Amino acid sequence: MDKNIKIYSVDGKFIFTVNKFSSLHHSKFTKFASPSYRYAWEANRDARAIALKHAYHIEALEKFAFEELEPPVVEEVSAERQLADHYTEIYDGLVDVADGMYEDDKLQKEMNYQEAKAVLKEILYIKDEVPEDEYTPEEEIVESNSRLKEIEEKVKKLIHKFYEDEIKKDKKKADEKEAEGNALPEGGMGMEAPMGGDPMGGGDPMGGGDPMGGGGMPPPMASSNSLIKTASREDIDEDCECELFEEYGCRACAAIEGKHKDVVYRLVEGGIEISNAKGKLLKIVVGDDLFVEDILPSNSLQEIYKYTYWKPIVEKIGHCCVDGHNIILHLGDKVLPDIPKEFPFEGDQLKGINKETKEIKPVSVSFKGKNPSWFVTPCSMKKSAGSAINTKEDYFQNGKGAIVVCTDPTLKSYYKNTGHVLQVIPFDSHIEVDVNFGNHIFRMTENQFDIIDGL
- DSSP state at residue 86: H
CA proximity to 210, closest of 243, 257, 176, 174: 243
- DSSP state at residue 68: -
**The pLDDT of residue 428:** 62
Question: How far separated are the first and last CA of the chain, in Å rounded?
Answer: 63
- According to DSSP, the residues that pair with 349 across neighbouring strands are 364
**The pLDDT of residue 194:** 30
**The pLDDT of residue 161:** 94
- Residue 78's SS3 state is coil
**The pLDDT of residue 105:** 87
**The pLDDT of residue 231:** 58
**The pLDDT of residue 64:** 67
CA proximity to 117, closest of 60, 83, 165, 155: 155
Give me the residue spans of the domains in the chain.
5-165, 238-331, 392-453
CA proximity to 80, closest of 16, 139, 152, 154: 139
CA 215 to chain CA centroid, nearest Å: 10
CA 115 to chain CA centroid, nearest Å: 19
SS (H, E, C) 107-174: HHHHHHHHHHHHHHHHHHHHHHHCCCCCCCCHHHHHHHHHHHHHHHHHHHHHHHHHCHHHHHHHHHHH
- Residue 375's SS3 state is strand
Mean pLDDT by 10 residues, the chain (455 residues): 89 95 94 96 97 93 63 58 91 92 87 93 86 74 89 95 92 81 42 40 41 40 42 72 93 95 95 94 93 88 73 93 90 79 76 81 80 76 49 64 86 87 76 85 87 60
**Whether the Cβ atoms of residue 113 and residue 163 lie closer than 8 Å to each other:** yes
CATH number of 392-453: 2.30.30
**Whether the Cβ atoms of residue 452 and residue 394 lie closer than 8 Å to each other:** no
Enter the pTM of the model: 0.70
Identity of the residue numbered 27? S
**The pLDDT of residue 389:** 44
Question: Rounded distance, CA 148 to CA 84, Å?
Answer: 5
